[in-house]
Amino acid sequence: MRFTSTSEKDPISTTFDEKPISTCGINTMSRAVKRKIQKINPVVEYKKRGRPHGKAAVEMQSYISVLARTRVPFGDKQWTQLPKDMKEQIWKAGEMCYVIG
């Protein structure tokens, strides 16, 4: 994964000595939040047809899902029925964590 900082390594990468991350519970994407605070943004790479691919793209999609789950009020509305300003807030938050082309 490429980053926009001077370091090419993921500063939050885990080692084998650390406790494994549990897969149960709510995902908050703490890795993305820590990188946002440190102003280290992974670059999302795209295929020729414009589809994102790679580790940064998968993380970005997960982060946007977390944002949608936490910021969109629970109800029976569909994505197309949400106000445009709410969608723009989620997009801006994604742009703050990732370099989106």
Per-residue model confidence as pLDDT tens digits over 27-82: 677 877 788 788 888 889 999 998 999 998 998 888 888 888 888 887 767 888 88
Spatial distance between the Cα atoms of 76 and 6, rounded to a whole number of angstroms: 44
Q: For the chain, what is the domain count?
A: 1
* 50 occurs within a structural domain: yes
Helix (H) or strand (E) holding 46: strand 45-46
* 97 occurs within a structural domain: yes
* 16 occurs within a structural domain: no
Spatial distance between the Cα atoms of 101 and 18, rounded to a whole number of angstroms: 34
Q: Give residue 21's pLDDT.
A: 56
43, β-bridge pairs: 99
HEC string for 19-72: CCCCCCCCCCCHHHHHHHHHCCCEECEECCCCCEECHHHHHHHHHHHHHHHHHC
Q: Give residue 8's pLDDT.
A: 47
* 5 occurs within a structural domain: yes
Residue 16 has pLDDT above 80, yes or no: no
* 39 occurs within a structural domain: yes
* 84 occurs within a structural domain: yes
* 36 occurs within a structural domain: yes
Pick the range with the lowest mean pLDDT from 14-18, 22-26, 86-90.
Answer: 14-18
The residue that leads in pLDDT, 13 or 40, is 40
Beta strands 45-46 and 52-53, pairing class: antiparallel
* 20 occurs within a structural domain: no
User: Cβ distance 76 to 91 under 8 Å?
Assistant: no
Q: Which domain holds residue 51?
A: 1-11+25-72+80-101
- Retrieve residue 5's tokens: 């900082």
